[in-house]
Amino acid sequence: MSRLGYTDKPVENLTEDSFGIGTYINGLCQFIVSCDTPMTISIQGDWGSGKTSMMNMIKQQIEDKVYPIWFNTWQYSQFNMGNDLCLSFLENLITKLQSKAETATSKILETSLKILKIGAKTAISSVGLDGAAIVNVFDKQDSDIAKAVNDLKDAFQESVNNKLKDNKKDRVVIFVDDLDRLNPGKAVELLEVLKVFLDCENCVFILAVDYSVVTAGVRQKFGNLVDEDKGKSFFDKIIQLPFKMPVAQYDINKYIYDMLKKMNMRADSRIVQDYKQLIRNSIGFNPRSIKRLFNTYQLLNLISDSKKTSVREDLHQRLLFAIICMQMTYEHLYAFIVTSAKNDELTGKGLRTLADPEVVRNYKGLPEELRLIGKDGKIDEDELIRMCAFMKTFVSIVDIDKDKLLSDEELNDMKEILFFSSVTSIMEEAKTGTGMEADQKIRARNRAIIDDVDANLTNLIGDFEIWQPLKSESDTKMSDVRCSINLITVSGIPFKYEFSISSKTLQDICLFIKFTCVQENLERLKEFFGPNPLDNEIPPVINDKGYEYVCMNIPEDKAVEVITEKVKEVHGKLKTKGYIV
């Protein structure tokens, strides 16, 4: 019996390539073995996009032509090595090269960290990342440190030359994996080590790192000293060849076909195409996400095998796959459909409506629970259209006879598969069964309350921006609703006056009042407002965003009235205390 499930283990060689990217691998390999040196290549892509697999396949293809060294930065970072990570990197490389430099570089390794601390800001802001230039900016008292830089580069170059001579190769290829899993600031430090100390002849560095991580690390390390252009300049100085993972070119048809065959499932062209469309408009083509999807698919197939079902096997498999895609990407949609099905409110017409672009674009007939609101307080039209494209494929699978009318029999087949799919849901606990129904009701109820409160306040205070999250996160429930309006203190400090409601159950509504501002104005706002600007008996929580008052638990039947009055009261107090005009 073949083993079940798909691990996150990277691909080791080209024969395991299921995405058909051999052309890219071969091209990179030819470049690596013939390019001028020193050369640094970045393999860029999101987590799970296959960067490690690509580097593995490159290493396997060229290891008989070059001397390869592999360094996994994430493994080292798990031991909380802090500032020792860069030194460990240097020691690891020299050890693997087994050169005479081993005994001659201990003093140099000790001083390397001091060089990183002293020279970094000067290097990036004035002279770039060139070892010789950094030496020139040190004053006379640091001449021993300057000498250490040169000694280290010389020792490393000698190690490289000796290793290549012993192995009859013309270049060392150093693979540095998982740089973008490090703290961004630490990743930048390691990149500095590569450029300043190890930029040597006959060396090619291949780095698994993303541009966004580097720019974030530059900002984290150097703060306001570095603008966006200098962040890009930092990246460009280190990376001579940026290569983006060709996710859009992955042969997804082949990958799906291989997966289904491994699971002993039917895999004709129509099924593969349906699955591809479902994946495209849900989780996307990230390999790690697709593996997770198929693992869930296998588990639910095993569970369903033990259940008696009237649904035809091939239809059962396609419906199940479609429902899992929905579950993993459109939590709100999945919850809405399950709730509607449990309450006998789900109709064929209702499902077809969700696949109609005109309805979705104009929001006509679209349930309140599915009107996705972005952080700017506006409807997220792009996400709605993507959801609509997904539902078009979903409905075509449910519509067995292709008459574009979903019969009761077709809906019942879908419901049968739908009801046991929640065991692998990624949603919060208690969002399945009655808990999920309650959460959807809370979401709709809270939004209706806020809409009424906003209507009451528009002429009294101004236009509030309303925001409701697309899905639950660690500190935000899907049913939370937040309103904010931009104000300015009499001393000229801009801030947001926010109120939000949150509910754990249908029986409670908790109101929060907040004053927040951007980080650069926070200290001024705290100094201006003091520790308790509203003089409440219970003082606010003051955090890195501003002030937060937890006001009260409010009964549902009085929520609109009470929240309106409280928001007005706070705004009035800000005026009477002279905080705002």
> How many percent of the chain have pLDDT more than 90?
24
* Dihedral sign from CA coordinates of 439, 440, 441, 444: positive
What HEC string does 304-319 produce?
A: HHCCCCCCCHHHHHHH
Taking residues 113-134, report their average pLDDT: 41
In degrees and rounded to multiples of 5, residue 72 shows phi and psi of -100, 105
Which of 355, 9, 25 shows the shortest CA–CA distance to 206? Answer: 25
pLDDT digits (tens, 9 = 90+) for 152-194: 777 778 888 888 988 899 999 999 988 877 777 778 878 877 7
Residue 12 pLDDT > 90: no
The single-letter code of the amino acid at 121 is K
Is the previous residue joined to 38 through a cis bond, with omega within 30 degrees of 0?
yes
pLDDT digits (tens, 9 = 90+) for 220-239: 666 655 566 667 777 788 88
pLDDT digits (tens, 9 = 90+) for 382-440: 788 888 899 999 999 998 888 878 888 888 888 888 877 765 454 444 344 444 456 66
Confidence band for 365, pLDDT divided at 50, 70 and 90: low
347-375: b (≥16 Cβ within 10 Å) or e: ebebbbbbbbeebbeeeeebbebbebbee
Residue 281 pLDDT > 60: yes
| Confidence (pLDDT) at 260 | 87
| Confidence (pLDDT) at 327 | 87
Residue 8 pLDDT > 90: no
Residue 109 pLDDT > 60: no
143-167 and 84-97 are packed helices; what angle lies between their axes, rounded to 10 degrees? 40
Extents of the domains making up the chain: 14-247, 251-426, 440-576
pLDDT digits (tens, 9 = 90+) for 472-510: 666 778 788 999 999 999 999 999 999 999 887 777 789
Taking residues 113-133, report their average pLDDT: 41
| Confidence (pLDDT) at 573 | 94
Residue with more model confidence, 418 or 514: 514
Neighbour count for residue 268 (Cβ, 10 Å): 10
14-247: CATH topology is Rossmann fold (3.40.50)
| Confidence (pLDDT) at 138 | 40
| Confidence (pLDDT) at 301 | 79
